[in-house]
Homo-oligomer: A and B are copies of this chain.
Amino acid sequence: MDTKSLARSFIYTDWILTETQFEPDKLHSRETVFTIGNGYLGTRGSFEEGYVRALPATFIHGVYNDVPVVYTELVNCPDWLPLVVIVNGDRFRLDRGEILRYERQLDLRYGILSRSIRWRSPSGHTIDMQFERFASLADEHILGQRWQLTPLDFDGLIEIEASINGYPENQGFNHWENIDQGKTEHGIWLHSRTRNSLIDLAIGAKMTIWGTEASVQVNNAPGYPTLSSTFLATAQQTVIVEKFVTVYTSREIDTPVTAALEKLAHLQDYTVLLNGHKQAWERVWQQSDILIEGDTTAAFAVRYNLFQLLIAAPWHDDKVSIPAKTLSGFGYRGHIFWDTEIFLLPFFIFTQPKVARNLLSYRYHTLNGARRKAAHSGYQGAMYAWESAVTGDEVTPRWSLPNDFYGEDVRIWCRDREIHISADIAYAIWYYWQATGDDEWMQDCGAEIIFDTAIFWSSRIEYNSPSDRYEIRGIIGADEYHEFVHNNTFTNRIVQWHLEKALIVYDWLRQTLPERVQELEQKLQLTPQVRSRWQDIIAKMWIPYDPSTGLIEQFEEFFQLEDINLNNYEPRQKSMQAILSIEGANKRQVLKQPDVLMLLYLMRASAEFPYNQKTLQANWDYYAPRTDITYGSSLGPAIHAILAADLGNLNEAYQRFMQAAMVDLEDSRDNTKDGIHGASAGGVWLAVVFGFGGIQLTEHSPVANPHLPANWTRLKFKLHWRNQWHEFDLHQTLATEDKGNKEKEDTRMGEQKDNKDKETSTINAQSPSETSHNPDIRGVIFDLDGVLTDTAEYHYLGWQKLADEEGIPFNRVANEALRGVSRRASLMLILGNRKYSEAQIQEMMARKNRYYIELLKNITQNDLLPGAIALLDELRQAGIKTAIGSASKNARQVVDRLGIADKVDAISDGYSVDKPKPAPDLFLYAANQLGIKPAQSVVVEDAAAGIEAALAAKMWAVGLGPVERVGAAHVVLPSLAGIKWADLQAKLNDAANKKIDIW
């Protein structure tokens, strides 16, 4: 997979995503990536100060409004973020002035987005700024912002304007009318209303300033209420600004303005509210966290995907559901697909069952919409919309219209033909019921959905008399590369399954609540004839399955289509539809996403027909190579990961899993700007729990049959099953073990214990490196000049100037001898056997240093050598410590100017030790600073003296440059450009095995 060099600016640690550079060309995808939310609303990670073409957005669940072509869309709400900061007359913008430090962090554990910046204004004033924001999970109507401003080198006027922007937009469209606005003693407020759906929204805001004399003014420009203040700031003194925003809509209260102002008037202080918010997050993670050890990236990425699901979860609202792009972007207009029931729901069923109930209740509340769709389409019962919004009516657009004057209108057929959604919902209800035992909801809501969609099916299915079988013709299956097919096996079987379960639910309901059965029989005209037809359909539904081979034909005559070898199209950066056109794809055996394999995945849960190992293998072998798993649907990879894990193909499983897990962090499909891939995020949980964890649902409990990826040393998660919590703490094992666990496997095992609302865990640990001779590297010490930067050039210029002044011959060739040599030693080499007094020597050293320091002022990030930043970041991510080990007395200054001070854990410089390289002292000092042993240390050097010093310190040495110079090192590289930590490790491992006794 092409990582598009995105890793460069992201660092993943346990819970924290760190962005280390301001990258305006990635503005939109990063706004998505840094979304925060609390399940009531989601706010994209746009910058407070605003940029042209930025796409700030706040989406509130259930707030939709009309729009042409796509009928309705999730509405971008008034923006609560805008902050203008004017520093001594210069408006703060990262694209002006100079960024001296930049770090943005998303803390998943506590749902806090923060940013730390040191900025020098165009007029040359330097200021430190901290931005923080959160959407309270403890009280979903409260949003908080805190800014800290510290002038570094000036006293001056700072103006701030914090606004509510009442002109938000959905791709240019503003769904709101501003009804009224005003100020109160506590702040400002704005009252807006959606144009067609007439939802009222009220936002209140107030602002407090600490650490200076400042009063807050109100400007009430129409639709743009603003809290502003101008104050005198003093160098090195921090001013803190806190802003609170309260939000209500008429969806939850009749008088949102009153509610927002009431809440605003009685807010507790920032710290108290933030702590409440953090505690709420801790409670959520107690149930939903997955711990992975041994694979930092996967560990973080899994949590990141779960975070996306949690911030989009409607905790307190059962009339909304999670859109395909969650509450994080404009893609798919906030419409709700089968993604929710099939991909997202299991995570909630097993870790936050109340949310799962809310999500399914949304389908109950939109049942009438599904009934209208059935009636408009000429069918009975309830036919769920392929894309659904507030009412449940069909909102899939009919057309993709061209932008150019003479382009083709492209008809979108999903609304008409992708009908499996009604069975998908029944499937989700069934497993919600199985997992939770929530009989009450099944009686009140679930049964009615299952029955009325079953009634739809019996009106939709055709009886083929000559063949005496039931068929479903003219549809789109799960695979959307084929737009008009008959008897798609996925659909035929899931519908058959649906009718099977409908009869079971009917019998159960008749036994447990006969009056409800009667009620539904009447309401839905659920006659004995209807049920008998269901039975007939179950018996005679056509499922083209070949029991001898296990191979299933995707749909009628699929095997007659032109075959395809996707390898012939590699390398590619786009989907097969983009390459072949939809007509071309229609004619070939190429899949956008799993279809037969999707069916097998669904039937796997209870090992129902046609799922079994043989069928899985046969169909995997046939369909996986024909599936556009890289650029087809983002729904595919996680499902492939699970099935590949089932089949013992862990490499494939891990690759697909990481594809799903990183899709937004790496923007690998180039559409993260449109919002988080919600189904993929749900799929990540499925892949970890059902794929690697190998969870199988038995009658009594979930059981683990783990297949952990090679580098995972531990996998820990909890599942809620029928009112009990089950904790799984799974470990990599190299040999068979038995600690009272009946399940055995050749190479891996897991163990799980039941408990009642209490956690217990069992650990089977073994160090994966015990049997290897590989060095146990814990830290890397970098020389500075010639390794991370080019300051050698500045030294050379300094020495050259000195030499010229003294009339001593000197040139670049002569300079080569000075690499890694201390200042005094360098001077000695230049002076040769010329005689100078100690005072003269001191003066010359000082003079050269003045020149050098003068020259250093020109250093910037641009002076970093290629590969330096990338490797430093990668090391930090991998948990490897880093230090600078430089003979220079200016090392700190250089490190600061290069902007890498926050990327290294320690700096050893010309002041640290007395004996210069080639003595080992400097590196030993550095290793000591890092708290690691010499044998756990790697030195990266470009000078012979440095290599000698590293070897003298008994450290691993990496030499940069020609073998003539650094050939003594364990590993020799031309430079750091393109060097990955994994590669370097491999080379060091090789070296360790070859020349283990180099020391």
Bound complex: CA of A195 vs CA of B228, how far in Å? 30
A457 in the interface (beta carbon within 8 A): no
Copies of this chain present in the complex amount to 2
A325 within 8 A of B: no
Q: Could you mark each residue 40-62 of chain A with 1 if its beta carbon is under 8 Å from any beta carbon of chain B, else 0?
A: 00000000001011000000000
Our pick among B179, B372, B401 for the contact of A68 (Cβ within 8 Å) is: B401
The 0/1 profile, CB within 8 Å of B marked 1, for residues 909-920 of chain A is 000000000000
Mask: chain A, 67-83; 1 = CB below 8 Å from B; 0 = not: 01101000000000010
Instruction: State the CA gap A373–B406 with chains docked (Å).
Output: 8
CA distance A376 to B178 in the complex (A): 45
Q: Does A165 contact B (CB under 8 A)?
A: yes
Q: Which residues on the B side are within 8 Å of A173 (C-beta)?
A: 172-174
Q: Is A405 an interface residue (CB 8 A)?
A: yes
Is A167 a contact of B174 with CB atoms below 8 Å? yes
- Contact status A84-B395, CB under 8 Å: no
Q: Does A1 contact B (CB under 8 A)?
A: no
**Is A380 an interface residue when CB atoms closer than 8 A count as contact?**
no
Knowing A82-B222, A161-B221, A224-B221, the reply to whether A405 touches B395 (Cβ < 8 A) is: yes
Residues in B with CB closer than 8 Å to A372 are: 405-406
Q: Does A246 contact B (CB under 8 A)?
A: no
Bound-state Cα–Cα, A174 to B175, Å: 11
A244–B786 Cα distance when bound, in Å, is 62
Inter-chain contact B177/A52, CB cutoff 8 Å = yes
A429 to chain B, nearest CB (A): 24
Residue of B nearest to A396 (CB): B405
Q: Please judge, given known A-B contacts A372-B406, A398-B409, A401-B399, whether A221 and B174 are in contact too, CB under 8 Å.
A: no
Partner of A69, one of B69, B177, B373: B69
Binary interface profile of A, 163-204, with partner B (CB < 8 Å = 1, else 0)? 101010100111101110000000000000001000000000
Contacts of A82 in B (CB 8 A): 222
Judging by beta carbons under 8 Å apart, are A52 and B405 in contact? no
Give A401 to B401 CA distance when docked, in angstroms: 11
Q: Does A220 contact B (CB under 8 A)?
A: yes
Chain A residues touching B, majority SS: loop
What residues of chain B lie closer than 8 Å to A223, measured between beta carbons? 165, 167, 224
Give complex CA distance A406, B175 in Å.
22
Contact of A219 with B by CB under 8 A: yes
Which residue, of A178, A195, A223, A394, has the highest number of chain B Cβ atoms within 10 A? A223
Asked if A66 is an interface residue, CB under 8 A from chain B, the answer is yes
Cβ contacts under 8 Å, A403 to chain B: 66, 68, 71
A970 to chain B, nearest CB (A): 55
With CB as the reference atom, state the residue of chain B lying closest to A50: B222
Name the interface residues of A342-393: CB closer than 8 Å to any CB of B. Answer: 372-373, 376, 391, 393
* Interface residue? A321 (CB, 8 A): no
Question: Are the CB atoms of A220 and B84 closer together than 8 Å?
Answer: yes
In the assembled complex, A491 has its CB within 8 A of some CB on chain B: no
A75 to chain B, nearest CB (A): 11
Contacts of A177 in B (CB 8 A): 52-53
The CA of A163 and the CA of B226, in the complex, are separated in Å by 14
Is there contact, CB below 8 Å, between B221 and A221?
yes
CA–CA, A221 and B172, complex, Å: 19
Cβ-closest chain B residue relative to A221: B224
Beta-carbon contacts of A208-250 to B below 8 Å, as 1s and 0s?
Answer: 0000000000011111101010000000000000000000000
CA distance A441 to B50 in the complex (A): 50
Complex Cα–Cα for A163 and B219 (A): 12
Q: Are B219 and A221 in contact (CB under 8 A)?
A: yes
What is the distance, in angstroms, from A76's C-beta to the closest C-beta of chain B?
Answer: 12
**Nearest CB on B from A673, distance (A):** 15
Q: Write the A149-169 contact mask toward B (1 if CB under 8 angstroms, else 0).
A: 000000000000101010101
CA distance A825 to B840 in the complex (A): 128
Q: Are B165 and A222 in contact (CB under 8 A)?
A: yes
CB distance from A222 to the nearest CB of B (A): 6
| Minimum CB–CB distance for A294 against chain B, Å | 47
B401 touches A405 (CB 8 A): no
Name which residue of chain B comes closest to A53, CB basis: B177
Instruction: Give 1 or 0 for each of A105-130: 1 = CB within 8 Å of chain B CB.
Output: 00000000000000000000000000
Asked if A219 contacts B222 (CB within 8 A), the reply is no
* Closest chain B residue, CB of each to CB of A54: B177
Q: What's the minimum C-beta distance from A626 to chain B, rounded to whole angstroms?
A: 35
A219 CB, min distance to chain B CBs, angstroms: 5
Tell me if A178 and B52 are in contact (CB < 8 A).
yes
Q: Once the chains are docked, how many angstroms separate the CA of A399 from the CA of B69?
A: 10
Which residues of chain B are near A178, meaning CB under 8 Å?
52
Whole-angstrom distance from the CB of A543 to the nearest CB of chain B? Answer: 32
Q: Which of B161, B219, B226, B394 contacts A406 (CB 8 A)?
A: B394
Q: Bound complex: CA of A144 vs CA of B177, how far in Å? A: 28
Residue of B nearest to A178 (CB): B52
> Residue of B at shortest CB range from A223?
B167
CA distance A433 to B723 in the complex (A): 90
In the complex, what distance in Å separates the CA atom of A82 from the CA atom of B69? 33
B84 touches A222 (CB 8 A): yes
A169 to B222, CA, bound (A): 14
Chain A positions within 8 Å of B, measured between CB atoms, are: 50, 52-53, 66, 68-69, 71, 82, 84, 161, 163, 165, 167, 169, 172-175, 177-179, 195, 219-224, 226, 228, 372-373, 376, 391, 393-395, 398-399, 401, 403, 405-406, 409
23 intermolecular pairs with C-beta atoms under 8 Å apart: A52-B178, A68-B69, A68-B403, A71-B403, A71-B405, A82-B222, A84-B222, A165-B222, A165-B223, A167-B167, A172-B195, A174-B174, A219-B226, A221-B221, A224-B224, A372-B405, A373-B406, A391-B405, A394-B406, A395-B405, A398-B409, A399-B401, A399-B409
- Listed from nearest, the 4 A-B pairs whose CB atoms lie closest are A167-B167, A393-B405, A376-B406, A221-B224
Given known contacts A161-B219, A174-B174, A222-B224, what 7 new A-B pairs fall within 8 Å (CB)? A69-B401, A71-B403, A84-B221, A84-B222, A163-B221, A163-B222, A172-B195
